[in-house]
Structure 1
Amino acid sequence: MKILNQRQIRQMIERLAIQILENNFESDEIILAGINNNGMGFARMLYERLEAHTSIPLTLTNIRLNPADPLAAAVEMDISPDSLRGKAIVIIDDVANTGRTIFYAFKPFMAILPAKIEVAVLVDRKHKSFPVKVDYVGLSLATTLRESIDVQIRNVEEEAVYLV
């Protein structure tokens, strides 16, 4: 069942971008760190909207980890964590379910002292098993544990979010 269409997704991204700017207007730079494929796709969409609204320097980076087994391999990023000292960081994923993937995405930032770390997701399912606070939410959705969320954002013509 489709729960968000392209227009709704774009409206949410616009709103989230403005909220991120409101909370980071004094920042020297905002780092957008997208998790894996869909998280990175969502981060790119946010980056484009942020870029249209601000002159604050923005950096987009990818966080790579195995969501099924986050301890199986090191969590990797496209940029050195040392370059993130004192910066405002927004960790971005498409869906927050138990919070496990987002929890382990914090790992590269544990050895540095950023100005702050926030979390943005398109859909928050409210099934947290890990101590993760989501700061920016496109849609908060109560689902059963058997249901899942399928986010389609790779093809502009087919952007949608489905409850399956």
Structure 2
Amino acid sequence: MNQKAIVLDEQAIGRALTRIAHQIIEKNKGIDDCILVGIRTRGIYLAERIAAKIEDIEGKTIPVGEIDITLYRDDLTKKTDNQEPFVKGSDIPVRINNKKVILVDDVLYTGRTVRAGLDALMDLGRPSTIQLAVLVDRGHRELPIRADYVGKNVPTSSDEKIVVELVEVDQVDQVSIFDN
């Protein structure tokens, strides 16, 4: 793969997450009955960062959970090459029944990962609403899914790939676009 450009650097990611935090607070008229749930792997770290920004703004903490969608994917056999999938499990600190769940992921592309996240959440309870926050929306939806909160829209061709790197996993904060 050939890197074409860095579309978000560390400061731009920080600004995007601050904007998302403000939008979550505004749309939900505060954070009462809200919970952030990050999709493994990078969605978890983004959810934790958004939670920290919300705490700075509101002075209150918002619960943060993580969800593993491995067994909910519709492309499981393609992704695992017929090996047993490695499931890390989900960890949600509060019951989600009647809560406003904000599902957090790094990139929204076809919508299939989000659909798997929705299925996994519904197996855990019945939230009052589920909202979606993503750092990058790159288009090319295959399912009728859209994000409620978007850090940056990055129109791409299907020949391109968006790579999100976060300090917690990759030792750098940046979003890049690559030729496939």
Alignment TM-score, normalising by the size of structure 1 = 0.88
String of CA shifts for 1:116-145, please: whole Å, max 9, x gaps: 110000000111101212100011111010
- The 4+ residue runs of structure 1 with deviation greater than 2 A are 26-29, 72-77, 108-113, 154-158
User: In terms of Rg, which structure is larger?
Assistant: 2
The CA distance in 1 between the partners of 2:150 and 2:156, in whole Å, is: 16
Alpha-carbon distance, 1:109 to partner: 3.0
The CA distance in 1 between the partners of 2:92 and 2:150, in whole Å, is: 26
Q: Please name the residue that 1:110 is paired with.
A: 122
Instruction: Give the CA RMSD over aligned residues.
Output: 2.5
Q: Please name the residue that 2:172 is paired with.
A: 158
What are the equivalent positions in structure 2 for 1:1-164 lying under 5 Å apart?
Answer: 1-25=5-29, 27-66=31-70, 68-69=75-76, 76-79=89-92, 83-111=95-123, 112-155=125-168, 158-164=172-178
Alpha-carbon distance, 1:79 to partner: 2.6
Alignment TM-score, normalising by the size of structure 2 = 0.80
Identical counterparts, % of pairs: 29
The CA distance in 1 between the partners of 2:131 and 2:89, in whole Å, is: 18
Alpha-carbon distance, 1:45 to partner: 1.0
The CA distance in 2 between the partners of 1:7 and 1:56, in whole Å, is: 24
The CA distance in 1 between the partners of 2:30 and 2:44, in whole Å, is: 25
Residues paired across the two proteins, number? 163
